[in-house]
């Protein structure tokens, strides 16, 4: 009888661990730069925070017409569902998008109009 309880307890523990793992959001996406401008910096932060985190590009540039795969660690995937994105052109012009549910995005395509107003689409 004790052995059955131990097995049952182990099954329950592993079930909760599996549910927690599955509930993590897959936030990875491919970023396409179709803005006509270069992206010199790119910041991602959970929408619930009040500050920007580190520059994902780490000194690299995403040139117009290029793309880059953006990946998240398991810890990041569990931190938040909604994220704010900030793109900075080499001249310092900033473009900010707030409250994006990255779990619904596999491709994020950045575009720009003649007034240098950037927009994104899935």
Report pLDDT digits (tens) over 110-120: 999 888 888 88
Q: What is the CATH code for 25-121?
A: 2.60.40.2890
For residues 86 and 94, give the distance between their C-alpha atoms in angstroms, rounded to a whole number. Answer: 7
Name residue 41's beta-bridge partners.
Answer: 88
**∠ at Cα 119 (46, 110), nearest 5°?**
85
Percent of the chain with pLDDT over 70: 76
**Rounded mean pLDDT of the chain?**
81
Compare 70 and 72 and report the one with higher pLDDT: 70
Contact 80, 47 (CB under 8 A): yes
Handedness of CA 50, 55, 56, 61 (dihedral sign): positive
How high is the pLDDT of residue 6?
54
Burial 65-86 (b: 16+ CB within 10 A, else e): eeebebebeeebbebbbebbbb
In the chain, what are the domain boundaries? Answer: 25-121
* pLDDT tens-digit map of 84-112: 999 999 999 999 999 999 889 999 999 99
| pTM assigned to the model | 0.74
How high is the pLDDT of residue 74?
60
What's the mean pLDDT in 37-43? 95
Handedness of CA 104, 97, 56, 114 (dihedral sign): positive
How high is the pLDDT of residue 54?
83
């Amino acid at each position: 009888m004790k052995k059955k309880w131990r097995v049952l307890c182990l099954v329950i523990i592993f079930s909760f661990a599996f549910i927690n793992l599955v509930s993590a959001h897959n936030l990875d996406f491919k970023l396409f730069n179709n803005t006509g401008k270069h992206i010199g910096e790119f910041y991602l932060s959970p929408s619930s925070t009040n500050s920007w985190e580190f520059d994902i590009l780490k000194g690299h540039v995403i040139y117009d017409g290029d793309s880059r795969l953006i990946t998240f660690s398991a810890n990041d995937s569990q931190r938040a569902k909604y994220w704010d994105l900030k793109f900075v052109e080499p001249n310092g012009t900033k473009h900010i998008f707030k409250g994006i549910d990255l779990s619904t995005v596999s491709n994020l395509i950045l575009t720009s109009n003649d007034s240098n107003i950037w927009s994104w689409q899935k």
